[in-house]
Amino acid sequence: MSTNNAADVRVGTGFDARVGTGFDARVGGGFNPPTPTDRGGPDYGRFVEAVRRLQDHARAADAPDAVITEAADLLEKVSAMLAPFDADEWSSPSGRRNDLPNRGNILSVPLDLHLTDDGRMGGTARFRRYHLGRNGAAHGGAVAHLFDSLLGFTAYKLSGSKAQRTAFLHVDYRKIALVEKELQVEARIDDIVDRKIFVSGRLLDGDHVLAEAHSLFVKLKPGQP
């Protein structure tokens, strides 16, 4: 089950790679939303975008062996430089920089969302080269990831619920979604029954529906993680 909570319309979902290795579940249990921060300083956005560009190049590069060797050496040096500063999800700026797109999170597909006049969520999405599956199309898992972020944010934003988790997510793939192209997204709440929030959405390229999804998010009880 994935977590969906956001404070900014440029949405991303947090992830902690250290779960199971000293992970801090927070005293008292329960879901804990990320606390906004300015940690990382004025260059944190540039840092995140540089990582994204590196992912794109890693997916695309057909470089000579010597270039790959040199690049691997440099990347190992950068990893060694950052390693002493690994922190838990409550301390890392990733997912907590509300001043940045996707809250400074490199995991999520880039989304830019807004509330529409008729009470839905609308906006744009762009799959990068990193999200490539085959033949110019975004990987199906990346499309599903986009919907989990989009519909989870919609559940949060439109229901007023502070914390909920994905109970199910169903995606129907209609046409391929091209990478490196600005696409449109829309989402709405279909129903709310007690703790259940039913949400649906679409991914579009102009008038063409590329994928549709419907989902169920369940509001957490006090003390639920």
Q: Which residues contact 141 (CB under 8 A, 6 or more apart)?
A: none
Domain with CATH 3.10.129.10 in the chain: 108-225
Residue 54: phi and psi, rounded to 5, are: -60, -45
- Pick the more confident residue, 160 or 46: 46
pTM for the model: 0.83
Q: Is the pLDDT of residue 14 over 60?
A: no
Which pairing describes strands 111-115 and 121-126: parallel, antiparallel, or unpaired? antiparallel
Q: Is the pLDDT of residue 210 over 70?
A: yes
The fold of the 108-225 domain, in CATH, is Thiol Ester Dehydrase; Chain A (3.10.129)
Average pLDDT in the 8-19 region? 35
Q: Is the pLDDT of residue 28 over 50?
A: no
Condensed to tens digits (0 to 9), the pLDDT of residues 91-117 reads 999 999 999 988 899 998 999 999 999
Give the E-state strand segments of the chain in sequence order: 3-4, 111-115, 121-126, 164-173, 182-193, 196-205, 208-219
**Which pLDDT score, from 0 to 100, does residue 30 have?**
59
**Which pLDDT score, from 0 to 100, does residue 8 have?**
36
**Which pLDDT score, from 0 to 100, does residue 204 have?**
98
Show the CA angle centred on residue 28, arms to residues 104 and 162, nearest 5°: 50
**Which pLDDT score, from 0 to 100, does residue 197 have?**
97
Q: What does the alpha-carbon distance between residue 176 and residue 214 come to, in Å, rounded to a whole number?
A: 18
- Give how far Cα 158 sits from Cα of 45, 46, 144, 161, 165, Å: 28, 31, 21, 8, 15
Q: Which residues contact 39 (CB under 8 A, 6 or more apart)?
A: 91, 92, 93, 96, 97
Average pLDDT in the 112-140 region? 96
Q: What does the alpha-carbon distance between residue 97 and residue 30 come to, in Å, rounded to a whole number?
A: 22
Q: What does the alpha-carbon distance between residue 198 and residue 191 come to, in Å, rounded to a whole number?
A: 5
